[in-house]
């Protein structure tokens, strides 16, 4: 979990004419967003190149993540898939994983100015609306923590989020979601209701595993029909649909 969190503030009164959340959005004490495909889409190779450098330095293989179905996977599981297909066995993978993570994060830090994120439609208005009404906001992402926060900062969204849950502590997405719930409850001081917003079938499945509502948004690579087939609580084209008109 990130240690530099925003201080929670009491609910504020929205100014006249301000947007409000629509009734489509499940009621919750905290709203937790996936990053890639939900908050933003990357238009650069910073993360991709960092994976490659991590594999070169930690495992001695000049491999890439090309062809791996990364959407819905965690950084750790992506690394595992990439090195396994070039012959690295599990024991070596685990032994060198801390080194690979160190290199990956170092490369992202070194090249963070090259991030070119495109914020998904409706995201800033929705975050502003939820933040303005005093809701606790967090992220739950398969990214490593430093990678995820760099992407969010590059997109101009860091101010909205009080906490994050990332793949540093869990390779499994349901574990990431579970950690997010634990952190939300710790911050709020009670058994809080948490609603997740994500763009992949993996997000829907993880929310079901932890017993939380999930809004599926088709701003990643999965269509509305593909997401509806997973039976999320709500399925939308983009986050602007979660704002009252």
Structural domain includes residue 23: no
Structural domain includes residue 198: yes
Grade residue 245 by pLDDT with cuts at 50, 70 and 90.
Answer: low
pLDDT at 11 over 60: no
The pLDDT tens digits for 118-128 are 999 999 999 99
Q: What is the DSSP letter of 243?
A: B
36/84 same-domain check:
no
Closest CA to 218 of 243, 186, 240, 189: 240
Q: Over the Cα atoms of the chain, what is R_g?
A: 18
163/202 same-domain check:
yes
The pLDDT tens digits for 142-192 are 999 999 999 999 999 999 999 999 999 999 999 999 999 999 999 999 999
pLDDT value of position 3:
37
The span from the CA of 215 to the CA of 24, in Å, is 9
Question: Which of 75, 95, 114 lies at the terminal end of a domain, its last residue?
Answer: 114
Lookup: tokens for 114: 């090259």
Closest CA to 12 of 105, 110, 131: 131
- The secondary structure element, H or E, covering residue 146 is helix 145-154
* CA–CA–CA angle 176, 181, 186 (5° rounding): 125
161/200 same-domain check:
yes
132/174 same-domain check:
yes
146/225 same-domain check:
yes
Closest CA to 201 of 183, 179, 226: 226
Grade residue 17 by pLDDT with cuts at 50, 70 and 90.
Answer: very low
Question: Which of 63, 90, 114 lies at the terminal end of a domain, its last residue?
Answer: 114
Average pLDDT, the chain: 92
pLDDT value of position 22:
82
Domain range for 84 is 46-114
Over residues 6-31, the mean pLDDT reads 64
pLDDT value of position 4:
37
79/145 same-domain check:
no
- CATH number for the domain including 38? 3.40.50.1000
pLDDT value of position 10:
36
123/203 same-domain check:
yes
Structural domain includes residue 144: yes
Structural domain includes residue 12: no
85/130 same-domain check:
no
**Tokens 């905290």 identify what position?**
30
pLDDT at 16 over 70: no
Question: Which of 55, 83, 114 lies at the terminal end of a domain, its last residue?
Answer: 114
Query: What total number of domains does the chain contain?
Result: 2
pLDDT at 100 over 60: yes
Over residues 58-80, the mean pLDDT reads 95
Structural domain includes residue 53: yes
- CATH number for the domain including 90? 1.10.150.240
Lookup: tokens for 81: 């898939």
Please tell me the total number of residues recorded for the chain in this structure: 245
User: Does this model's pTM top 0.95?
Assistant: no
Grade residue 13 by pLDDT with cuts at 50, 70 and 90.
Answer: very low
Structural domain includes residue 105: yes
């Amino acid at each position: 979990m990130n240690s530099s969190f925003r201080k929670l503030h009491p609910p504020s009164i929205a100014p006249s004419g301000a947007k409000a959340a629509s009734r489509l959005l499940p009621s919750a004490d905290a709203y937790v967003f996936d990053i890639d495909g939900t908050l933003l889409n990357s238009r650069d190779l910073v993360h991709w190149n960092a994976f490659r450098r991590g594999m070169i330095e930690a495992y001695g293989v000049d491999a890439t993540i090309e062809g791996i179905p990364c959407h819905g996977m965690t950084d750790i599981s992506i690394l595992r898939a990439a090195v396994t297909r070039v012959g690295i066995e599990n024991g070596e993978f685990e032994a060198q994983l801390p080194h690979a993570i160190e290199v990956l994060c170092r490369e992202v830090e070194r090249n963070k100015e090259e991030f070119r994120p495109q914020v998904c439609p409706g995201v800033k208005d929705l975050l502003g609306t939820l933040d303005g009404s005093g809701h606790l906001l967090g992220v739950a992402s398969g990214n490593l923590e430093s990678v995820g926060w760099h992407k969010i900062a590059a997109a101009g969204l860091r101010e909205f989020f009080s906490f994050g849950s990332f793949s540093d502590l869990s390779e499994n997405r349901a574990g990431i979601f579970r950690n997010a719930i634990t952190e939300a409850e710790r911050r709020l001081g009670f058994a809080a209701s948490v609603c997740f917003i994500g763009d992949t079938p993996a997000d829907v499945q993880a929310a079901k595993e932890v017993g939380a509502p999930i809004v599926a948004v088709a701003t990643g690579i999965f269509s509305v029909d593909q997401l509806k087939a997973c039976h999320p609580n709500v399925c939308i084209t983009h986050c602007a649909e979660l704002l009252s008109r």
